[in-house]
Amino acid sequence: MKKLVEHAPTRLFWGSEWPHPQYFKPMPNDVALLDMMLDWVPDEKTRKLILVDNPAEIFRFPPVNAQRTAS
């Protein structure tokens, strides 16, 4: 995984299938999974790419404005 992060950080995004609705065995330890990801991606800017920017681009999420207007 570290090689993927090193060579293609703009092509990765994080997914965990939390809260695991179809998993009937002992549940994965989500904290351990996140800790593992933090070990793979120690750089904060790269984590933002993987956790925020890449998924927003792939799924075409609209930009989030700092100021929101009340509806």
Q: Alpha-carbon dihedral of residues 60, 66, 11, 40, nearest 10 degrees?
A: -140
**Per-residue model confidence (pLDDT) at position 23:** 74
Q: What phi, psi does 3 have (nearest 5°)?
A: -65, -40
pLDDT band at 66 (very low <50, low <70, confident <90, very high): low
The average pLDDT across 31-53 equals 93
Q: What is the tens place of the pLDDT at every residue in 16-28?
A: 777 777 777 887 7
The average pLDDT across 60-64 equals 85
In total, the chain counts a number of residues equal to 71
The average pLDDT across 38-52 equals 94
Whether 69 has a pLDDT exceeding 70, the answer reads no
Q: What is the pTM of this model?
A: 0.71
Cβ-Cβ contacts under 8 Å for 14 (sequence gap 6 or more): 37, 50, 51, 55
